[in-house]
C-alpha cells in the first residue's frame, strides 16, 4: 500500500519541526510550494495533519500512552510521529476511515525504515479507534487537578494553563484554549483600498472565498485557496498579515515626511504601512538582527514597490548606531509568541516559564535603546505578539521608571489615531484595556493576541 502524498508531506514536516526546531508554517509552505502538481485537497489534508498533530499533541500522547508500556515521547521520533498522525485522524477526522488511517500509519513507519514498529502501531491505533467515540473527558482518571485536566483536554502545558487561570479565570481561560486549537483566519491587508472591489473579484474568480475583516477597513480574510499564489499578491496589491499585526503601525499616526525607525522589523509587514504613511518625503529605516531576514525584507519591499525604506542589519540590544533622532519608532520586540499559538502551535511545546524572564531582559534593553533615539514630541509604539505581562506591562513599567521625559500617550489619543482605520461597527475602546494598553485576543477578536503600548517624549 502506497502512502498518500499528503501524509508523506505531513510526516516529513513534523519530523523537521521536532528534530530541527523548525517553524511548522515555514517548512510546510516550502514543502507545499515545491511539490509539483499537488492537488488543493492534498495540500489541505497535509496542512490539517501538521497543524492538528501539533495543536493536539498532549491529548494524543495521553490517549496513546494508555495502551503502551513506553510513553510516546520516549519512542523513536518516526514511530512517535506515525502514532500521533494516526491517532489524530482517528480521533478528529471523521471523514477518513479508521482503517485507512491505521494502514497508512503502518506504511509511513515502514517508509521511515522502522518496520519493527509496524505491529505496535497497528495494535495501538486499533485500540484508539475502538474508543474514538468516547469523550476524552470520560477517559481521564478521577482526581486530576483542575489545571492539569484542562491542560490535557485542551492540549497545552500545565504551567501555561495555571498562569492563565490565575489571571483570566476559568471561563476566559477555556475560551483562550479553545481559540488556540482552532485554525486561525488567513487574513490579508489590501494596499490599494480604491482597488478593493477589483482585487476581491480576482481572488474569488481564482476560487477563493473572501470575507471582510473583523477589525480593519483594509483587511479581509481568505479561505479555499492560497492568496500567496495570486496575481494580486505577486503584484504587491495585498499581503498576508494577521489583522492585529496590521493594526500596530496604525497606532503611531505616522505623518507625511516623518523620519521613522522600525526595529526588529522582519518580515516587514508593519514596515510597509509605515512607509506608505511617511510618503515619498519621509524615510523609514527598517532594522533587524539577522542578515537573512533583512534579505527577505528587501524582497518584500521590491514586491510592494516601496522606495523610501532603508534596510539595516543591527543588534538593537546595543546602542543604536544611526545618526539623528526619529519622529516615530516602532519596537516590534522578539517575544514568546503566546498570542500566536493557533498559528504556531509548536511554540507551546518549546516554551518554558524561565523563557519569559529571559525575553524580558532582551526586550527591556531594546526598548531603552530605542527611546534614546526618539525626538522630542516623537511617539514610540512597543508591541509584542505575547499575552504575558512579563513581556508587556512589566517591560513598559521598567522603561518609564528609567526614562525621564517619557510618558504614556493618553488612551483617548491612542484610540483616536486608530479609529479612522476600523471596520464599520468596531469601537476603538474594545481594543484598549482599562490600563490604556492596546490588546487583542484570539478568543474575543479572532486574531493573534497582540499587545501595544504608546509612549511619547516631552
Altogether, the residues listed in the chain come to a count of 458
Q: Which residues are registered as beta bridge partners of 283?
A: 259
Q: Does residue 323 sit in helix, strand or coil?
A: coil
Distance CA 431, CA 321 (A): 35
Catalytic machinery residues: 385
- Given a contact cutoff of 8 angstroms between Cβ atoms, the answer to whether 458 and 405 are in contact is yes
Give me the helices (H) in 154-308, please: 158-180, 196-205, 231-234, 243-250, 269-278, 291-304
Q: How far is CA 309 from CA 236, 257, 300, 372, in A?
A: 16, 13, 11, 21
Nearest to 62 by CA among 77, 73, 50, 54: 73
- Given a contact cutoff of 8 angstroms between Cβ atoms, the answer to whether 457 and 376 are in contact is yes
Q: Which helix (H) or strand (E) holds 455?
A: strand 451-457
Dig out the grid coordinates for 430 from the structure.
474594545
Nearest to 31 by CA among 5, 53, 61, 1: 5
Distance CA 449, CA 458 (A): 30
Q: Is 275 exposed, middle or buried (0-12, 13-18, 19+ CB in 10 A)?
A: buried
Dig out the grid coordinates for 41 from the structure.
485537497
CB-based contacts of 97-102 (< 8 A; 24+ apart in sequence):
98/129, 98/132, 101/125, 101/129, 102/126, 102/129
Query: In this structure, what are the phi and psi dihedrals at residue 227, rounded to the nearest 5 degrees?
Result: -65, -25
Q: Which residues are registered as beta bridge partners of 219?
A: 189
DSSP assignment string, 421-432: GBPTT--GGGGB
Distance CA 334, CA 439 (A): 17
Instruction: For residue 419, give every residue at least 6 positions away whose Cβ sits within 8 Å of its Cβ, in sequence order, or none.
Output: 428
Distance CA 32, CA 39 (A): 10
Amino acid at each position: 500500500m502506497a502512502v498518500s502524498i499528503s501524509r508523506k508531506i505531513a510526516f516529513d514536516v513534523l519530523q523537521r519541526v521536532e528534530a530541527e526546531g523548525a517553524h511548522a508554517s515555514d517548512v510546510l509552505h516550502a514543502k507545499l510550494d515545491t511539490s509539483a502538481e499537488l492537488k488543493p485537497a492534498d495540500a489541505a489534508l497535509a496542512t490539517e495533519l501538521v497543524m492538528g498533530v501539533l495543536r493536539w499533541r498532549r491529548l494524543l500522547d495521553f490517549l496513546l500512552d494508555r495502551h503502551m508500556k513506553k510513553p510516546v515521547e520516549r519512542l523513536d521520533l518516526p514511530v512517535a510521529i506515525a502514532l500521533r498522525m494516526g491517532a489524530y485522524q482517528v480521533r478528529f477526522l471523521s471523514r477518513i476511515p479508521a482503517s485507512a488511517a491505521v494502514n497508512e500509519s503502518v506504511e509511513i513507519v515502514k517508509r521511515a525504515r522502522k518496520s519493527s514498529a509496524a505491529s505496535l502501531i497497528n495494535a495501538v491505533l486499533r485500540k484508539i479507534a475502538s474508543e474514538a467515540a468516547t469523550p476524552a473527558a470520560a477517559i481521564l482518571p478521577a482526581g486530576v487537578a483542575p489545571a492539569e485536566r484542562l491542560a490535557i483536554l485542551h492540549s497545552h502545558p500545565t504551567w501555561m494553563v495555571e498562569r492563565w487561570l490565575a489571571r483570566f479565570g476559568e471561563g476566559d481561560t477555556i475560551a483562550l484554549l479553545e481559540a488556540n486549537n482552532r485554525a486561525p483566519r488567513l487574513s490579508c491587508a489590501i494596499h490599494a483600498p480604491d482597488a478593493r472591489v477589483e482585487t476581491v473579484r480576482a481572488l474569488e474568480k481564482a476560487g477563493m472565498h473572501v470575507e471582510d475583516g473583523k477589525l480593519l477597513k483594509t483587511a479581509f480574510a481568505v479561505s479555499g485557496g492560497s492568496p500567496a499564489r495570486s496575481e494580486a499578491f505577486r503584484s504587491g496589491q495585498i499581503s498576508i498579515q494577521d489583522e492585529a499585526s496590521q493594526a500596530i503601525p496604525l497606532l503611531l499616526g505616522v505623518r507625511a515626511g516623518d523620519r521613522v525607525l522600525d526595529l526588529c522589523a522582519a518580515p516587514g509587514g508593519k514596515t510597509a504601512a509605515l512607509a506608505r504613511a511617511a510618503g515619498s518625503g519621509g524615510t523609514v529605516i527598517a532594522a533587524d538582527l539577522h542578515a537573512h531576514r533583512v534579505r527577505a525584507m528587501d524582497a518584500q519591499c521590491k514586491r510592494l514597490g516601496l522606495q523610501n525604506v532603508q534596510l539595516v542589519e543591527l543588534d538593537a540590544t546595543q546602542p543604536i548606531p544611526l545618526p539623528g533622532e526619529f519622529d516615530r519608532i516602532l519596537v516590534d520586540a522578539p517575544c514568546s509568541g503566546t498570542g500566536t499559538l493557533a498559528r504556531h502551535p509548536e511554540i507551546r511545546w518549546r516554551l518554558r516559564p524561565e523563557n519569559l524572564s529571559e525575553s524580558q531582559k532582551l526586550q527591556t534593553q531594546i526598548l531603552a535603546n530605542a527611546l534614546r533615539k526618539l525626538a522630542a514630541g516623537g511617539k514610540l509604539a512597543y508591541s509584542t505578539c505575547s499575552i504575558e505581562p512579563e513581556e508587556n506591562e512589566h517591560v513598559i513599567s521598567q522603561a518609564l521608571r528609567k526614562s525621564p521625559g517619557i510618558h504614556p500617550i493618553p488612551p483617548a489619543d491612542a484610540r483616536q489615531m486608530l479609529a479612522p482605520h476600523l471596520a464599520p461597527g468596531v469601537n476603538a475602546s474594545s481594543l484598549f484595556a482599562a490600563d490604556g494598553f492596546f490588546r487583542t485576543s484570539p478568543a474575543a477578536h479572532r486574531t493573534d493576541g497582540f499587545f501595544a503600548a504608546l509612549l511619547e517624549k516631552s
